[in-house]
Structure formats: C-alpha cells, structure tokens
Structure 1
C-alpha cells in the first residue's frame, strides 16, 4: 500500500435500486427515471457524487435498454446537473449475453460503466471481442469499472491486463464483499483477500460494496485503506444500528460522516472523474 495518498478524497457512489428490489421490498426504492432523479437530489446532498444506474421496464423488471438509460440520464441531469457521475450497469441477471451487454454500452455511450468480468469475459472465447470493446470504450473517454467477486477474480484481471485484453496501465475496480457468504452478510474482513492481490498505487483505485447492516463498516474499512465506497438499497436497506433506512440518503450520510472521521474529504463529481479517468 506504499505510495498511496491516504488523505485523497473518498468517492461515495450510491446504488439506489439494483436489478431486483421494488417498492414491495422498501417503499423508497426508486424504480422510474423520475424517482431516481428526485432521489439524486437527496443522495447528492448526503454526500454521493456518483450514481450507479439501473433502469426498469414497465413491470419494474431489470432491463438493459438504451432509450430508458437516455431517459433516466436526462432526468438526473435535469435534477443535479453535472454534480453526479452517472455510471450505467451492464448486469446480466442471467438474461443478457456479453454481446448484448456490449451493445447497450455502445448505444448509450455513458461517461462510466460497470462491467462484471465474469459476465463480459466468461472464457477465452470471449476475449477477442471484449478486448476490441474495451479499447473502444476507453477510446471515447468512458470510464470502465471492473466488478470482482473474489481474490481469484483479481488474479484473472491482472492476467487479462498483462495479455492486453484489459487496456491501460491502471484499472478501476469494485470489490464485492460477501457475495457468497451465508445470508449475504458481509464482514470487513472479507476485504483482506482482495487487498493481498491489489496495490492501489500500481493497479488503480478500488471501491467496495457489501451486504447487510455492516455495509457501512465494510466500506469504511476500505476508506481507511485509501479505498472508496458504493452503498445503497441495491445491496442493503439497513442502517448500522440494524434499523430500516428511510432512504438511500441515510446510508450515504452514514458513510460520508465516517469518511470525515477517517480524515478524508468526501469526493466531488470532478474528483471522481479525475480518479476514474482511464490511464
């Protein structure tokens, strides 16, 4: 971890809905573009300068749809301007192929995109298409974030970079803690195997997301080690004390306050754009 500026701003990304949750899970889960836009104002005020964006179809189901992404992006921009980085998801949820994931990114041309390496490049047969796609994405200035679920995923990402499948000198990653733990109840110690194989100074910035009431503790453990946070109803609807959060803003505010106690300024959208810029 040498060479890392531990006083650099801490990015807080809000993941307000995910692919599955609806109003039945929590009344404050935003489903429509307008609900996302209205929420963005509160989330930004609470400290989130980045939005991990999912869109839903007319039945509130997960969908990768360029027109809906454009509608939601326009609504968010009308609400908060450029004060939030908008990152679209390519999550497959078992229904989209790698080719379909790449197609929606090409159609939307977002400023940032999250990509699960296991989905985009599941095997060697997908490497050539992924390499061309990632080179194209980085070329137009989009910031990819690679989603990793285990230390083995980290090792594979390094191998893909060494062989030129992943472009650039530094990568921006999201470590998903506790995805396969019992009851998806994450623990801050879940971060350790990832960091054994990741050097932020050499490899690039890392963020963390987690499940359950210790979500805040997990992302603040990352923050104490120069990492960044993604929080929200996608993975968790509980405050640190176990009570139900009123809104995504509750979870963002907890982490923003924790970042300040760590001595880290909460990052602005411009800070995050500089942090995530492909190199």
Structure 2
C-alpha cells in the first residue's frame, strides 16, 4: 500500500459531456478556475484539455492552452500542470469508404500534436501509448509507435515529464519498450486508464495485472470511469499507486448528484485518508516525480 499519494484532477476532457453537466468547464478561464479549485481541494496535479469556447468541442489550439496555463500560473495556487498531448489522433472510419477519414476525424503528426507543449513546457504532458477502438461506433484513437517515439524524444528534450497513459496491456508493453530504449526519463510515470471501451476493464483484477507489468522503480497512478472512479481510487492506493479523479472521467458525486471537480478531489482525499494514507502537496509530487518546476 502507498502511504504518500499524488492526487491528479482531470478537470475537463474531450468527451461530449458539456451538455450533461453545467459543472464541466469550457472556456479557458473556466478550465483554469477548475484547476485552481481542484488544487485547493487537495489535488497536487491538474490535468487539462481545452475546448472551443463557443461550441464546447475539443480543441488543440495552442492559444487556448496558453491562456489556461497563464491563468493557473498567475494564481496563488502552486499546482503541477499536466497538459494533454493526446489530440490529433482521432479517426472516424467511414462505413462506405474506409479509405477516407470520416467527418470528425482530426489527424496530426507528432510535431503538430506538441505545438502547445513546445510553447508552454508544462511540468507534465500526457502520452497516450497505443491505438484503441474507442467505443461501439467508428471512432479509433490512432497512436502509432513511430509517432509516439518521436513525441517521447521531443518531450524529453524539452524537460517535460511524459505521463504515459495506457488503456490496455499492449499499450503498457509498448510504454515499457520506450523506457527500455531510453526515451523516458527516470522515474517513468504511468497512468493506468481503466474501463474505457474497449481497453482494460475497470476491475481490481485488471489493474493488478497491469501493475505486475510495471518496471521496478516506476511511478504510476490509476483511474476508473463513471461509477468505478472512487472504487479505483481505493484500489490504486492499496496496490501502491497514485490516483486520478475529475469530470473528464466521471460527472457524479453519487447516484443522481452531479459533482464539481473540487468535490471529487475532496472525496478522493477522504478515501485516501481512511485507508491510512495522505495526499501530498505539489512540491512533494515534484520531488517524487523528479519534475522541473516552471518559473
């Protein structure tokens, strides 16, 4: 069991959640405020996507990321900022003509996917470590080994810590390969993403199996989506990991009660403390992950 736990809050994702809850932040100011709220509730790390302020659709516009980062850094809350770099791999396969990307596809090379990371050099950015059939429709998240290795090399050059997001055991296999190839600085940081259709199931056995595949000395966190969010908090702590909560993964505090990011962090911290552990500060998280703090 882990005694000192890093809590990450994923404040807004790329999913179609803005119409399901009024608490999902959309504008850069709302997203920055959500990061600050999460930090004040006990999160050491805030993980952020950005959205088109007018439509709420997911975006990879570097100007939007910059506004979020500047607002968070200008606040009196010293939170570790973790920006997504997972955008640019969205493929919608057309049933009638699979050779042509369907409406809603967004495909970009490694350089384009890292434009905002190059500009802002956050302490952490995500690195989704494999391709995945995303749900029951025609959506595929495309992350090829060539693209991922190129991104890993550039992120290492920038001094940014990649959080390697693994959605299934094959992703973890490839993440381990990048560690063995020297593309990832020590200590490697993994995020076990549980319950996303059709990746690893969100259950204790699946998380335990993935933990057994991690290299010695790795830092890792885990999360579950929907109703499995809080059970996976407990499971990750018991297995020696850190945790992630937030509105990217779950909209509810309890059945029928919509949550805020701060409330989800508070609930996670309570679970951690009831297990005899504690949530660490941002500076403690920096030491544990060997992060380069931004000025």
| TM-score computed with the length of structure 1 as normaliser | 0.85
**1:128 offset after TM fit, Å?**
5.8
Measure the CA separation in 2 of the matches of 1:263 and 1:124: 40
Cα deviations across residues 22-74 of structure 1 (Å, max 9, x unaligned)? 43110111111221233334322321121101111232221112221111112
Residue correspondence of structure 1 range 223-234 to structure 2 within 5 A: 223-234=237-248
**1:131 offset after TM fit, Å?**
5.0
For the 8 Å contact 1:87–1:114, the answer to whether it is kept is yes
Residue correspondence of structure 1 range 204-223 to structure 2 within 5 A: 204-223=218-237
**1:145 offset after TM fit, Å?**
0.6
Task: Provide the residue aligned with 2:18 in structure 1.
Answer: 23
Task: Provide the residue aligned with 2:66 in structure 1.
Answer: 70
- Any idea what SS the aligned residue of 2:127 has? strand
**1:77 offset after TM fit, Å?**
2.6
**1:173 offset after TM fit, Å?**
0.8
For the pair 1:109 / 2:109, whether they are aligned, the reply is no
- Any idea what SS the aligned residue of 1:272 has? helix
- Any idea what SS the aligned residue of 2:130 has? helix
- Any idea what SS the aligned residue of 2:46 has? strand
Instruction: Give the structure with the higher percent strand.
Output: 2
**1:146 offset after TM fit, Å?**
0.6
Measure the CA separation in 2 of the matches of 1:31 and 1:127: 28
For the pair 1:193 / 2:206, whether they are aligned, the reply is no
For the 8 Å contact 1:115–1:145, the answer to whether it is kept is yes
Task: Provide the residue aligned with 1:48 in structure 2.
Answer: 43
For the 8 Å contact 1:121–1:127, the answer to whether it is kept is no
Cα deviations across residues 86-114 of structure 1 (Å, max 9, x unaligned)? 11101225114242112332122212111
1:172 to 171, 189, 204: 189
Q: Which runs of 5+ in 2 are unaligned?
A: 91-105, 132-140
Q: Which runs of 5+ in 1 are unaligned?
A: none
Task: Provide the residue aligned with 1:276 in structure 2.
Answer: 289
Instruction: Give the structure with the higher percent helix.
Output: 1
Task: Provide the residue aligned with 1:242 in structure 2.
Answer: 255
Measure the CA separation in 1 of the matches of 2:13 and 2:217: 27
For the pair 1:133 / 2:154, whether they are aligned, the reply is yes
Measure the CA separation in 1 of the matches of 2:148 and 2:17: 35
Q: CA RMSD in A?
A: 2.6
Classify 1:150/1:203 alpha carbon distance in 2 versus 1 (closer, same or farther; 3 Å).
farther
- Any idea what SS the aligned residue of 2:244 has? strand
Task: Provide the residue aligned with 1:35 in structure 2.
Answer: 30
For the 8 Å contact 2:11–2:35, the answer to whether it is kept is no
For the pair 1:152 / 2:170, whether they are aligned, the reply is yes
**1:278 offset after TM fit, Å?**
5.8
For the 8 Å contact 2:163–2:189, the answer to whether it is kept is yes
